[in-house]
Chain A
Amino acid sequence: AQKVTQAQTEISVVEKEDVTLDCVYETRDTTYYLFWYKQPPSGELVFLIRRNSFDEQNEISGRYSWNFQKSTSSFNFTITASQVVDSAVYFCALSEPYSGTYKYIFGTGTRLKVLA
């Protein structure tokens, strides 16, 4: 069965610290997508990244980086030198585009608080 687990409910860090948000997934499909979204206090879900299952290259975008490891079924997200503006709820999600289902499987989210 498909599942996304974000075990960290809430994380607090002091500004400029690095922080890693964990995401572990379960799927039987060989083709799937993984996503990260940011939900700031305003509420809108902001798309951050999509990875497909055939591309295990890690990605860096500014202070954000993602570590995709199929061997451990993990897709972790690291924020380097965190800032107060990074405070938000972060969701990891899984989709299986060729499985006949249109659903995203969302994790329960990790609330990140960056303290000044």
Chain B
Amino acid sequence: SQTIHQWPATLVQPVGSPLSLECTVEGTSNPNLYWYRQAAGRGLQLLFYSVGIGQISSEVPQNLSASRPQDRQFILSSKKLLLSDSGFYLCAWSRRQGETQYFGPGTRLLVL
């Protein structure tokens, strides 16, 4: 069966510091991968989408970037965090475009 992992689970970072969140999927190959952000009490905002290694689509211009160095690894990064980057970050995978997305446990990021 497939599983999706995210780490860290919780992170507190000062403004201006770098960020690296990791997501890995097991039990499947060539998944579509997604990064979402959810601000407190709000809905889900799609940040990035990837259909393959090195292929990243960005949904909104922002302080964040994503990379996919391996088939089942998706990384969310920032060179300098802003207060507005605080939120709950969710990684998801799907077998094909438009099909069911399965979500990881998420990372809570607090930027102070």
Question: A: which residues have CB within 8 A of B?
Answer: 33, 35, 37, 42-47, 50, 91, 95-99, 101-104, 106-109
Contact = CB atoms under 8 A, between A and B. Distances in A.
Contacts of B103: 37, 44-47
A105 B14 CA distance: 33
A104 B44 CA distance: 10
Contact of B43 (A43, A46, A50, A106): A106
B78 to A, nearest CB: 20
Bin the interface of chain B by size. Answer: 20 to 34
B61 interface: no
The CB with the most chain A CB atoms within 10 A, among B97, B102, B105, is that of B97
B105 A43 contact: yes
Given A47-B102, A102-B32, A108-B43, A97 B96 contact: yes
Contacts of B108: 43
A97 B98 contact: yes
B44 A91 contact: yes
Given A33-B99, A91-B44, A102-B51, 4 more contacts: A35-B100, A45-B90, A47-B102, A50-B100
